[in-house]
Structure 1
């Protein structure tokens, strides 16, 4: 029995519960049909108990689920039993950070929209270090080093043999923020230019001229799952990261990203803007 299931394990359990409820079955009724005790159903749905691929297929059949793409995606969530690199930080960093790294590792594609900072996946080491030094709750040198190494390791999804497609929308305010001073800011902007040269990375900017736009007050990350039902939104909030996966929430943030894209500069014009900002430093 797991004492602290990961975000991915919790999501698998949640999706199994959705299938059961869509079938109109209670945990007791599902247990009777599957030949297990009701508390076993509850433990699987809470991510506390492991679920095999065969068990997922059996549950989907019992619940009359005919969505083969979803079933295949859920089966895929049972297959990787290896400990991810983020588990090294389990007793060191908050659990939501580990869940974010796990989410990014398994995502089919990633999107970010930020206003005041460069997205974490595109930050240089020096830029990230300055961000952590300015944390509202002052971090100790060891804590800063742990968070810094964790952030840099998260970026591996953009460098692996089959990198994750990534699209970022960054406000001009973040581009002009002289985090760490002109030298570090210039290095960060050059890094953005270098990364935007990669085929799997698309960078857009939103200028001050646009004014207010949907989601302008939030840092929003969107992780695409194997099927749309398994997408996840991650929001940065004052009390920590929040993960959203309800159908209505996903629909809302898909629409939000479409509206953001409509007011953003093209990748080509974004590069022109970045060069102009660098000249102003």
Structure 2
């Protein structure tokens, strides 16, 4: 087993899921290590992602932990492979680790869902719009760091244009469409970019208008990344101190319900594009 100073988000999630399986089996670290033929220290290092783990080892652990969910087992096995460094690693020394984790999580996602009330989703922002967002950050971000973050955000958008891109669905409140970050010209260019992007076959863009009397979630922004199985999904929330990742099954179920209800109240695809076009014409 090889140690790693900065474990990837994928390895960290794998370790956390193996720990959950062990705990559900009612085994202590010492008991499980004995059954696995390893030491408690080595097992702990796997669970906290200091050490990697092989596919065969995952299957053995699943059997010992009495896990009968074959889909989950195969999903965990898949997480042991493809240990190549992702493009986000070039930002390792200049960006907060949580932002790098976000890129890795969405890179491996099977479907992406965003819900925003004040901001345009990051994967749909233009360069100028993103730069203005970072310029207005509190606490203030230095100009060089702003450019690093803008570059990083634009590179993340490749997930929408790569071969075999996964489905992406965005719920955007009308309030976000009417915010004029950077002035009228930048705001209009951003709206026109949304209209162009909405034409991608795998992308769905739905607007929640001011006229609605029902808006589930009270305006909370959510980015939801589907995994190979529902229990490996991840919900990401924006906080002033950085992104927060949610992966408990109970909370994931709540966010899936939130997205379902947003889908019920949002305008249809064509109506959403018409509203975006109308707002752009007003600028």
TM-score band, normalised by the shorter chain? Answer: over 0.9
Gaps of 5+ in 2: none
Name the SS for the 1:194 alignment partner: helix
Gaps of 5+ in 1: none
Cα distance in structure 1, aligned partners of 2:220 and 2:271: 23
Contact kept in structure 2, 1:115 and 1:216, CA below 8 Å: no
Equivalent residue for 1:246? 248
- Alignment partner of 1:190 is 2:170: no
Equivalent residue for 1:228? 230
Contact kept in structure 2, 1:214 and 1:260, CA below 8 Å: yes
Equivalent residue for 1:265? 267
- TM-score after normalising by structure 2: 0.97
**Aligned-pair distance for 1:4?**
2.4
**Aligned-pair distance for 1:212?**
5.2
Cα distance in structure 1, aligned partners of 2:265 and 2:235: 21
Equivalent residue for 2:166? 164
**Aligned-pair distance for 1:120?**
0.2
Cα distance in structure 2, aligned partners of 1:48 and 1:35: 19
Q: Describe how 1:72-221 pairs up with structure 2 within 5 A.
A: 72-211=74-213, 213-221=215-223
**Aligned-pair distance for 1:8?**
1.5
Per-residue CA distance 1:237-269 (angstroms, 9 max, x = gap): 122111001011001111111111111001110
Query: Mean alpha-carbon deviation: is it higher for 74-83 or for 136-145?
Result: 136-145
Equivalent residue for 1:279? 281
**Aligned-pair distance for 1:211?**
4.0
Residue correspondences, number: 281
Equivalent residue for 1:65? 67
Cα distance in structure 2, aligned partners of 1:212 and 1:97: 32
Name the SS for the 1:209 alignment partner: coil
**Aligned-pair distance for 1:190?**
0.9
Stretches (4+) displaced over 4 A: none
Per-residue CA distance 1:3-50 (angstroms, 9 max, x = gap): 222221111001001111111111111111111001111111111111
